[in-house]
């Protein structure tokens, strides 16, 4: 499987398990992402994407999005799109 870097974590809301990602490429609901950082390394599917608290089916380069995450992440963790 290939991976392409599509952004980085800018913030994590622990009480919501939501990560804020600044995108450098597009992301669509249903795709898989891999988050890798100093103490983070996991892959998960994207069930929903929010921009300004509104659900959207996809996000494009330059968007700042929120997604529900399975594990804790940290600012500057890199986000990769998993390409099947």
Residue with token string 């609901």: 29
- Distance (Å, rounded) from C-alpha 30 to C-alpha 49? 10
- CA distance from start to end of the chain: 5
Quick one: pLDDT at residue 21?
98
Strands (E) located in 18-75:
18-23, 27-28, 32-36, 41-45, 49-51, 54-56, 58-59, 64-68
User: At 33, which CATH number?
Assistant: 2.40.30.10
For 48-63, what is each residue's pLDDT tens digit? 999 999 999 999 999 9
Number of domains present in the structure of the chain:
1
Quick one: pLDDT at residue 1?
84
Quick one: pLDDT at residue 5?
98
For 10-47, what is each residue's pLDDT tens digit? 999 999 999 999 999 999 999 999 999 999 999 999 99
Could you tell me the residue range of the domain that residue 24 belongs to?
Answer: 2-83
């Amino acid at each position: 499987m290939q991976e392409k870097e599509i952004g980085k974590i800018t913030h994590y809301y622990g009480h919501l398990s939501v990560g804020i990602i600044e995108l450098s490429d597009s992301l669509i609901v249903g795709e898989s992402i891999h988050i890798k950082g100093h103490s983070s390394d996991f892959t998960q599917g994207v069930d929903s994407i929010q921009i300004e608290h509104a659900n959207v089916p996809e996000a494009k380069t330059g968007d700042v999005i929120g997604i529900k995450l399975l594990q804790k992440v940290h600012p500057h963790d890199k986000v990769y799109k998993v390409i099947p």
